[in-house]
Amino acid sequence: MDLEQNISRMTRRQFVTATGALFVLDSFGPRVRVTRGQLSGKLERGPGLSRVIIDTDPGVDDALALLLAMRSPELKIEAITAVAGNVPLELTLPNALRMVEIAGRSEIPVAAGAKAPLLRRLVTATYVHGENGLGGAAFPEPRTTAVAEPAAELIRSIVKKYPGEVTLITIGPLTNVAAALQSDSELAGRVRRIVMMGGSLSGGNITPAAEFNIYVDPEAARIVFQSGMPVTMVGLDVTRRTALTEEHVRALEAGRGGVSQAAAALARNAIEQHRRAGFAARPNMHDPLAVAAFLDSSLLKWKDYYVDVETRGELTAGETLGYSPRTGGSEQRSATEKQFPNLLIRGSAPTLASSESSSVLRDKFVPNAKVAVDVDSARFFDMLIGRLSGKQ
């Protein structure tokens, strides 16, 4: 079966079966409560932690997200998998290894993943993250080496070992995850949840339509959204409200230990890189917010959507479209929603040359994603700066 068939729409029976009962909000956060004392000094890890794999393309905010995850004792990080995105894989992989060493977590396996999107040429974001991916912040070459197993295979093997327990936290293009899904038809049913930084229901950041991670590999993103895995989408709708400030940087510079100092260097260079590039806004903490959303879902507000990805538009490829009885052309409100239980989800009108007789993609609304629509930015930064600085 070729890729175009893989990303084509599922049957209604397959889709409803896969997604009908997936959306219990409490199910995508960690299962343990951590005391303030556990967050100071040496991190203690024990049984009952949340198993996660972090797929990443460091990237300044990816690097800070990795440090946040490795400073969070709720998590059992089974692996970190690198993918090309913000910069090529030749840089994202050593950047991930650097963060592992800085955090003193060299026991975490780091794997190399895709060097390019499934069908497209790689588009990077060096204009945001600098030529080295870290905003110009210089760290020693990593001494730790990546594991031999490719990222997609490592994802498969870990999920198979712990069925129903592993959450994928994805903070880069979704190429590695899509490749794993394509190679194992049972994988989606074994993943507990995917929490992604990606997408937007309110316009893009690399084009007016598309958010960067989805834009880089829209075919991979569509495979993920249509896989049946429970999806938690932390997109630009909320990450745009997480601007890094000088006050945050000073708090990190005043913090204890190597993690805080490394984070401060990354944050300082991110702000300087934005100034050099001429951006009016300060850098946003897109990827750390996705990690924080998994750690404490109450930091954000959520709504159910059926999300799909535009893959064919010349101007809109990578756009994430959210369908809901409260959105789109119907504009139905709660008083009349009961009259429209089977909201049709439509694609574009058929062309004269098309053999299709209908543009209906789904004949019933079934959400496939929890989408973040609001965020308590102050509480988020309390967590981020507190954990990275060792003060929380």
Report, as residue numbers or ranges, the catalytic residues: 286
Question: Which pairing describes strands 300-309 and 320-323: parallel, antiparallel, or unpaired?
Answer: antiparallel
End-to-end CA distance of the chain: 51
Q: Which residues contact 46 (CB under 8 A, 6 or more apart)?
A: none
CA neighbor of 139 nearest in space, from 104, 101, 171: 101
Q: Burial level of 52, CB count in 10 A (0-12/13-18/19+)? A: buried
Round to whole Å and give the CA distance between 10 and 226: 7
Q: Which residues contact 248 (CB under 8 A, 6 or more apart)?
A: 267, 381, 384, 385
CA neighbor of 174 nearest in space, from 60, 308, 81: 81
Round to whole Å and give the CA distance between 183 and 286: 29
- Is there a contact between 261 and 255 (Cβ–Cβ < 8 Å)? yes
Look-up of token digits 């496939």: 368
CA distances from 28 to 156, 262, 294, 297, 303 (A): 20, 29, 7, 8, 14
Round to whole Å and give the CA distance between 364 and 259: 48
CA angle, residues 309, 63, 301, in degrees to nearest 5: 50
Round to whole Å and give the CA distance between 344 and 361: 8
